[in-house]
A and B are shown apart, each in its own frame.
Chain A
Amino acid sequence: MKRTLPFVVPTALLLALPLLRIDARDYVLQVLTLLFLNIVLAQSYDMVGGTMGYINLGHIAFFGLGAYALGILYNAGVPFVPAVALAVLAVMAFAALISYPFFRLRGAYFALAAFGLVKLMEYVTINLNWLTGGSNGLKIDPANRTVPMYLVSLAVVVIVLLASWVISRSRLGLAMKSIREDEEVARDFGVPTRLVKTQALVVSSIFPAVMGAFYTWYINFIDPGQVFGLKIALTPVAMAMLGGSGLVIGPVVGAIVLYMAEEVIWTQFDELHGAMLGGVIVVVGLFMPGGLMRLRPLDALLGRLGWREDDR
Chain B
Amino acid sequence: MDLAILVQLLINGILLGGVYAMAAVGLSLIFGVSGVLNLAHGEFLMLSGFFVYVVYDRLGLNPFLAVALVAPCFFVVGYLFEMGLIRPLALRKEHVRLASATLVTLGVALIVEDATSFASLGGSFEKSVDIFVPTLVLGTVFLPSLKLVIFAVVLALIAALFLFLKYTYIGLAVQAVTQNRRGAVLNGVNTFRINAIAFGIGTFMAAAAGGFEVIHSAVAPDIGLPLTLKYLSIIVMGGLGSFAGVALGGVIIGLGEALVGFYNPAWGQTVAYLLLVAILLVRPKGLLGK
Residues on A facing B (Cβ under 8 Å): 53, 55, 101-102, 104-109, 111-113, 115-117, 119-120, 123-124, 126-127, 180, 230, 234, 237-238, 241, 245, 271-275, 277-286, 289-290
Contacts and interface: CB of A to CB of B under 8 A. Distances in A.
Interface in B225-247: 225-226, 229, 232-233, 236, 240
A285 B267 contact: no
A106 B284 CA distance: 8
Interface residue tally of chain B, by bracket?
35 or more
A274 to B, nearest CB: 4
A108 B37 contact: yes
Given A113-B280, A281-B106, A123 B270 contact: yes
Interface string B276-288: 1100110011100
Contact of B284 (A55, A104, A230): A104
B95 A274 contact: no
B82 interface: no
Contacts of A241: 99-100, 103
A230 B225 contact: yes
Contact of A108 (B88, B110, B240): B240
Interface of B: 31, 37, 85, 88-89, 92, 95-96, 98-104, 106-111, 113-115, 118, 225-226, 229, 232-233, 236, 240, 266-267, 269-270, 273-274, 276-277, 280-281, 284-286
B104 A112 contact: no
Main secondary structure of the interface of B (DSSP, over half): helix
A252 to B, nearest CB: 18
15 contacts: A55-B95, A55-B98, A101-B281, A107-B95, A109-B284, A113-B236, A116-B233, A117-B273, A119-B229, A274-B111, A278-B108, A282-B104, A285-B99, A285-B107, A290-B96
Given A108-B240, A275-B115, A285-B100, 14 more contacts: A55-B98, A104-B284, A112-B232, A112-B236, A116-B229, A116-B277, A117-B277, A127-B270, A272-B115, A272-B118, A278-B109, A279-B107, A280-B107, A285-B99
Contact of B110 (A109, A126, A127, A278): A278
A125 to B, nearest CB: 10
A237 B150 CA distance: 38
A120 B269 CA distance: 9
B121 to A, nearest CB: 14
A275 B100 contact: no
The 6 closest A-B pairs by CB, nearest first: A278-B110, A285-B103, A282-B107, A281-B107, A274-B114, A285-B104
B111 A278 contact: yes
B85 to A, nearest CB: 7
Contact of A127 (B88, B95, B267, B285): B267
A102 B225 CA distance: 23
A126 B264 CA distance: 13
A286 B88 contact: yes
B269 A109 contact: no
Contacts of B103: 238, 241, 281-282, 284-285
Contacts of B270: 120, 123-124, 127
Nearest to B109: A278
B118 A271 contact: yes
Contacts of A113: 236, 276-277, 280
A150 to B, nearest CB: 30
